[in-house]
Structure 1
Amino acid sequence: MDITTALQLVLLPAGAVAVAAFARRRGWPAPLLLVLVGLIAGLIASRIPGMPTYELDPEVVLLIFLPPLLYSAALDSSYLRLRDFRRPVGLLSVGLVLFSTAVVGLLVHLMIPGLPLAVAFALGAIVAPPDAVAAVAVARRLGLPRKIITILVGESLFNDATALTAYRVAVAAAVGQGISLFGAVGQFAFAAGGGLLIGVVLAYAFGWLLDRLRDPLITNTISLLIPFASYLAAEAVHLGEVHASGVLSVVVVGVFLGHRMNRASYGTRVVSYSVWKVLDFFLEIIVFLLIGLQLPLILEGLRGQDPWRIAGYAAAVFTAVVVARFVWLIPGVYLPRILVRGIRNREAKPLASHVAVIGWAGMRGVVSLAAAFALPVDLPYRDLLLFLTFVVVIGTLLVQGMSFPWLIRKLGVSSDVEIYKDNLSEAAAQQAAASAALARLDELTEEGVIETHTEVIDRLRTNAERRAMGAWERLGGGVGPDGEETPSALYRRLRRAMLEAERSVLVRMRDERRIDDEVLRRVTMELDYEEATLARE
Structure 2
Amino acid sequence: MHYTLLQFLILLSVAFLLIMLAQKVKISYPIFLVLAGLGISYIPGIPAMSIDPEVIFLIFLPPLLYEAAWYTSWNDFWRWRRPISLLAFGLVIITSVAVAFLSSSMIPGFTLAMGFLLGGIVSPPDAIAATSVLKNIKIPKRITTILEGESLVNDASSLIVLRFALAAVITGQFSFSTAAGDFFLSTTMGIVIGLAVAHVLYLIHRFLPTTPSIDAAITLISPYFMYLAAEQFHYSGVMAVVSGGLFLSYRSHEIFADGQSRLQAINVWATLTIILNAFVFILIGLELPIIMAGLEGYSLWEACSYGLIISALVILLRIAWIYPVAFIPRWLSAKVRRTEAHPGWKGPLIIGWAGMRGVVSLAAALSLPLTSAAHINFPHRNLIIFITFVVILVTLVFQGLTLPYLIKAINIAEIDSLVPDEQQEASIKLRLLKVSLNRLEEKYIEETDGIALVKGLRNELENSLNHASRRLESMECEAIENAEMEVYNHILKDIYHVQRQELHKIRKEKQFSDEVIRKQEMQIDLSDTKIPHTKMALKGNG
Cα-to-partner distance string for 1:305-362 (whole Å, 9 max, x where unaligned): 3455444323221111111112222112211211122332333322321111111111
Q: 1:73 to 1:384 in 2, by over 3 A?
A: closer
Q: 1:227 aligns with which of 205, 223, 237?
A: 223
2:360 equivalent in structure 1: 367
**1:74, 1:157 within 8 Å by CA — same for their partners in 2?**
yes
1:354 and 2:347 correspond:
yes
How far apart are the structure 2 equivalents of 1:420 and 1:294? Answer: 49
**2:40, 2:46 within 8 Å by CA — same for their partners in 1?**
no
2:251 equivalent in structure 1: 260
1:71 and 2:66 correspond:
yes
Q: 1:418 to 1:375 in 2, by over 3 A?
A: farther
SS of 2:530's partner is: helix
The offset of 1:51, in angstroms, is: 2.6
Q: 1:521 aligns with which of 518, 523, 530?
A: 518
The offset of 1:229, in angstroms, is: 0.9
How far apart are the structure 1 equivalents of 2:317 and 2:308? Answer: 14
**1:171, 1:375 within 8 Å by CA — same for their partners in 2?**
no
Q: 2:80 aligns with which of 72, 79, 85?
A: 85
> How many pairs align?
516
SS of 2:173's partner is: coil
Cα-to-partner distance string for 1:396-452 (whole Å, 9 max, x where unaligned): 111111112212222224669999712111111111111111111112333x33744
Q: 1:463 to 1:414 in 2, by over 3 A?
A: farther
1:122 and 2:121 correspond:
no
Q: 1:274 to 1:301 in 2, by over 3 A?
A: same
Cα-to-partner distance string for 1:197-222 (whole Å, 9 max, x where unaligned): 11121222221221114421222211
**1:466, 1:481 within 8 Å by CA — same for their partners in 2?**
no
1:405 equivalent in structure 2: 404
SS of 2:447's partner is: coil
Q: 1:449 aligns with which of 447, 450, 455?
A: 447
1:33 equivalent in structure 2: 32
The offset of 1:536, in angstroms, is: 7.1
1:318 and 2:318 correspond:
no
Q: How does 1:394-473 map to 2 (within 5 A)?
A: 394-413=393-412, 421-446=420-445, 448-449=446-447, 451-453=449-451, 455-467=452-464
**TM-score (ref. length: structure 1):** 0.89
The worse-fitting range, judged by mean Cα deviation, of 306-315 and 172-181 is 306-315
2:177 equivalent in structure 1: 182
Unaligned runs of 5+ in 2: 372-376, 535-542
- One-letter amino acid of the counterpart of residue 170, structure 1: A
**1:56, 1:294 within 8 Å by CA — same for their partners in 2?**
no
How far apart are the structure 2 equivalents of 1:445 and 1:314? Answer: 69
**1:34, 1:292 within 8 Å by CA — same for their partners in 2?**
no
1:250 equivalent in structure 2: 241
How far apart are the structure 1 equivalents of 2:102 and 2:177? Answer: 23
SS of 2:82's partner is: helix
SS of 1:188's partner is: helix
How far apart are the structure 1 equivalents of 2:110 and 2:33? Answer: 34
- One-letter amino acid of the counterpart of residue 532, structure 1: T
**1:437, 1:464 within 8 Å by CA — same for their partners in 2?**
yes
How far apart are the structure 1 equivalents of 2:132 and 2:399? Answer: 14
1:501 equivalent in structure 2: 498
2:264 equivalent in structure 1: 271
How far apart are the structure 2 equivalents of 1:257 and 1:305? Answer: 47
Cα-to-partner distance string for 1:459-484 (whole Å, 9 max, x where unaligned): 1112212226x7xxxxxxxx996352
How far apart are the structure 2 equivalents of 1:55 and 1:356? Answer: 39
**1:99, 1:328 within 8 Å by CA — same for their partners in 2?**
no
Q: 1:89 to 1:141 in 2, by over 3 A?
A: same
How far apart are the structure 1 equivalents of 2:444 and 2:533? Answer: 24
The worse-fitting range, judged by mean Cα deviation, of 343-352 and 257-266 is 343-352
**2:27, 2:401 within 8 Å by CA — same for their partners in 1?**
no
Q: 2:147 aligns with which of 147, 152, 169?
A: 152
How far apart are the structure 1 equivalents of 2:405 and 2:120? Answer: 30
Q: 1:298 to 1:114 in 2, by over 3 A?
A: closer
The worse-fitting range, judged by mean Cα deviation, of 496-505 and 34-43 is 496-505
SS of 2:48's partner is: coil
Q: How does 1:125-140 map to 2 (within 5 A)?
A: 125-140=120-135
How far apart are the structure 2 equivalents of 1:41 and 1:295? Answer: 9
- One-letter amino acid of the counterpart of residue 194, structure 1: M
How far apart are the structure 1 equivalents of 2:51 and 2:518? Answer: 36
SS of 1:348's partner is: coil
Unaligned runs of 5+ in 1: 239-243, 471-478
2:472 equivalent in structure 1: 484
Q: 1:103 aligns with which of 98, 103, 114?
A: 98
**2:329, 2:336 within 8 Å by CA — same for their partners in 1?**
yes
The offset of 1:293, in angstroms, is: 4.5
The worse-fitting range, judged by mean Cα deviation, of 301-310 and 143-152 is 301-310
**2:341, 2:416 within 8 Å by CA — same for their partners in 1?**
no
2:508 equivalent in structure 1: 511
How far apart are the structure 2 equivalents of 1:357 and 1:416? Answer: 13
Cα-to-partner distance string for 1:41-100 (whole Å, 9 max, x where unaligned): 212x2xx3x431244653233211221122122111111111111111111111111110
**TM-score (ref. length: structure 2):** 0.89
How far apart are the structure 2 equivalents of 1:507 and 1:335? Answer: 36
**1:62, 1:367 within 8 Å by CA — same for their partners in 2?**
no
- One-letter amino acid of the counterpart of residue 119, structure 2: G
How far apart are the structure 2 equivalents of 1:215 and 1:94? Answer: 40
**1:314, 1:391 within 8 Å by CA — same for their partners in 2?**
yes
SS of 1:332's partner is: helix
1:196 and 2:191 correspond:
yes
The offset of 1:155, in angstroms, is: 1.5
Instruction: Give aligned-pair identity as a percent.
Output: 36
**1:140, 1:149 within 8 Å by CA — same for their partners in 2?**
no
**2:40, 2:282 within 8 Å by CA — same for their partners in 1?**
no
**1:438, 1:461 within 8 Å by CA — same for their partners in 2?**
yes
Cα-to-partner distance string for 1:232-283 (whole Å, 9 max, x where unaligned): 1111112xxxxx1111111111111111111122221121221112222222
Q: 1:137 to 1:418 in 2, by over 3 A?
A: farther
How far apart are the structure 1 equivalents of 2:496 and 2:46? Answer: 57
How far apart are the structure 2 equivalents of 1:379 and 1:504? Answer: 54
How far apart are the structure 2 equivalents of 1:139 and 1:211? Answer: 36
How far apart are the structure 1 equivalents of 2:457 and 2:408? Answer: 46
The offset of 1:510, in angstroms, is: 1.7
Q: How does 1:273-312 map to 2 (within 5 A)?
A: 273-302=266-295, 305-312=298-305
How far apart are the structure 1 equivalents of 2:419 and 2:341? Answer: 20
Cα-to-partner distance string for 1:161-197 (whole Å, 9 max, x where unaligned): 2112112212222234422111111221222122111
The offset of 1:303, in angstroms, is: 7.2
- One-letter amino acid of the counterpart of residue 149, structure 2: G
